[in-house]
Homo-oligomer: A and B are copies of this chain.
Amino acid sequence: MRVSLKDVAEKAGVSIKTVSNVVNNYPHVTPAMRARVQQAIDELGYRPNLTARHLRKGRTGIIALAVPELGNPYFAELAGAVIDAAAEHDFTVLLDHTRGRREQEVLVSQGFRARVIDGLILSPLELEAEDLQGRPDDVPLVLLGEREYDAPHDHIAIDNVAAARAAVRHLLSRGRTRIAYLGARTDSANRPAHLRLVGWREELKTAGVPAPDELVVPVDGWDRDDGARAMARLLDAGVRPDAVFAFNDLIAIGAMRVLHERGLRVPWDIAVAGFDDIAESRFGAVSLTTVAPDKQAIARMAVASLLRSLSGRSEPGGRELIAEFRLVERESTLGRR
C-alpha cells in the first residue's frame, strides 16, 4: 500500500503539517526536525506526491513562464525567482523561451499547452495587443515587462520612465552633459518608443540639457554583442558622448568592452549606466552602475496574481501592478573608490 504523509507523521511523531513543510523544503524547519522526518521518510520509503492536491482541484499544479531568452541573465534570474515563488505554493514552473519572436509569443499566449498548465506568466517583446484577443479565458495570463497592453490581464512592471530618469539624473549629477542612449529599436517606425528612451528624453529636458538624435543609438538586439557593435558604430561615426545609458546591462557590458579596446577609460572618459542589475554587473574590471528592478517582488506578484485568478478573485479589467526599483551606483559612474 502506498505510504502516506500521515504514516510518515505518525512514524516521526510529528504533525502532518511538519512533514509537509519538510517535503516541500520550506524554511523554518530546524535541522534536527528535518533529520527526524527524513529518517521516517527513508524508513517507510515514502514518495511525496505534490500533484495530488492540485488534481483534486482539477489543476495540474504547473504554471508556465515564457521569457524572450534564458541566455539573458535578467530572465534567468527572474525565472529562478518565479520558480521559488511558485514553489511556496506547491506550483512548479514550465519554462519556455520565445526568442522574442511574435509568432512564438502568440502561440504561447493563445495557450497551445492549455491542457497541462493552470496559468501563464508571459514577458513579451513583440506581441501586439490584437494578438491577445480571442484567447481562451480558462488559463489566466499575467504579463510582465516594459510593454503595456490594453488587455484584461494583470500587468507587472517597474516604473520604467522613472527608473530611466533616475539613471540619467545620476549621470547628470556626475557632470555629464552628452549622455547617449544605447538600445533604441531599429524598427521603431510604427510603435511607441521604449519607456526607457522616454525617461532619458524627459530627464534631459527637465535639466535643460540637449538630447540630439545622434545620441540615440539603435541596436540590433539586446545582447552584449549588440551593445559592442552599437558602441563601435557610434565612435566610428565620430560621435563622442561623455556618458552612455544603456537599455540593459548586457548592452552596457558590450559597450564597455569596446571602450576598453579603444583605450577610453570608464568612467573618466565615458561613464556608463545599465539596467537590470544582473549578477555579472558587480564584476569585471569596472563594476556597472545600474537600475535594479526588484525581481523577487515581480516574481511574487506574478504568482500571487495567477493564484488570485485561479481562485476566481481577479478583477475583470486587469490591474497594473508596480514593483520597486533602485539605482545601484558602482564604478562605471563613480570610479574606483
Contacts and interface: CB of A to CB of B under 8 A. Distances in A.
Interface of A: 23, 25, 38, 45, 47-51, 55, 60-62, 69-71, 73, 76-77, 79-80, 83, 92-97, 101, 103-104, 107, 110-113, 115-116, 134, 136, 223-224, 228, 253-254, 256-257, 260, 279-280, 282-286
B50 A112 contact: yes
A6 B50 CA distance: 39
Given A97-B80, A279-B224, A116 B113 contact: no
Contact of A94 (B38, B95, B101): B95
Contacts of A284: 253, 257, 283-285
B48 A112 contact: yes
Q: How many copies does the complex hold?
A: 2
Contact of A134 (B45, B93, B134): B45
A62 B279 contact: no
Given A93-B96, A282-B224, A284-B284, A70 B60 contact: no
A285 B282 contact: no
Contact of A38 (B51, B96, B103): B103
B112 A253 contact: no
13 contacts: A25-B104, A25-B107, A48-B112, A50-B113, A51-B115, A62-B94, A71-B73, A79-B95, A83-B95, A92-B96, A224-B283, A253-B284, A260-B285
A190 to B, nearest CB: 18
Contacts of A104: 25
B62 A116 contact: yes
B47 A112 contact: yes
Contacts of A116: 51, 60-62, 116
A23 to B, nearest CB: 8
Nearest to A259: B285
